[in-house]
Amino acid sequence: MLNSNNGSRSSLAGSTEFVRWAGIRVSSDFFGRTGRGGCGLAELTNPSFNAEQLLCQWQQNQAEWLDQEAETIRNGLLQDLFAVRRKLELLDGQATDCLVDFEHLYHSLKHLADRLSSPYIHDSFPLAIQHTVSIWDKTLPLKLYLPVHWPEEPVVVTSLVLSILDKVLHSLEATPPAPQHCLIYLAEATEGKQLILQANHCNAIPPLLTELCQSDEWLFRLHTFQIVTGGKTICLAGGSSLKVQLTW
């Protein structure tokens, strides 16, 4: 165990040896340089995590960080703005223009928080799905079949599923013509939990949707889902339909 007194640090500063501490290989002159405002060098030794474990941990940390940032906006900025709004309303119509601008700012921040992380991510998996896809209600013919009750899902799993849905629906909206039907179905099957999104077109699906299923970005999302959940993914694009199936 390293002694933190000044004598120990000065004796280490002149050495070029490395010390091991908490699994990190730290240059012994780290203390001397950091003491003078510089930067030390640290090297991870004997890593006990493989690439898949590191990806899972990174994905979990990312989902939790986004969720924390969204909650900071909801519980901090939006609450402060609401208090300001109440004060403006007390001005008896003298701040009409300000209230219009304020409403725009308030809803923009709320939309940003919701995009970072669903407000239902801790409460209900089906509600989180419903809330996430609701922004496409006016542009896509969505039909949702979601159960009322569902087992609690880890934040990282919910975040991944919502990210995949967001990507598919955004691609469907941005690639005309719009599908004739767009079904999202969530259920517990014999092989595990299952989410299916299927879009049916009147004619052949646009070529760009076929390219989506072959893109590196899309394959990375599906492979990440498989690693994090230990599940399976299917993406079929052909004829007049696009089908994405997640099982975990």
φ, ψ (nearest 5 deg) of residue 242: -125, 130
Q: Which helix (H) or strand (E) holds 183?
A: strand 181-189
Strand partners, 91: none
Whole-number pLDDT of residue 198? 97
pLDDT tens, per residue, the chain with 248 residues: 444 444 444 443 443 343 333 343 444 444 444 444 444 444 444 455 566 765 666 667 677 767 777 777 777 777 777 777 777 777 766 667 677 777 777 777 777 777 777 889 989 999 999 999 998 998 999 999 999 999 999 988 999 999 999 899 999 999 999 999 999 999 998 889 999 999 999 999 998 888 888 888 888 889 889 988 999 999 999 899 999 999 99
Whole-number pLDDT of residue 51? 64
In whole angstroms, give the CA distance from residue 196 to residue 101: 40
Report the candidate in 246, 234, 241 with the shortest Cα–Cα distance to residue 162: 246
Whole-number pLDDT of residue 1? 44
Whole-number pLDDT of residue 55? 65
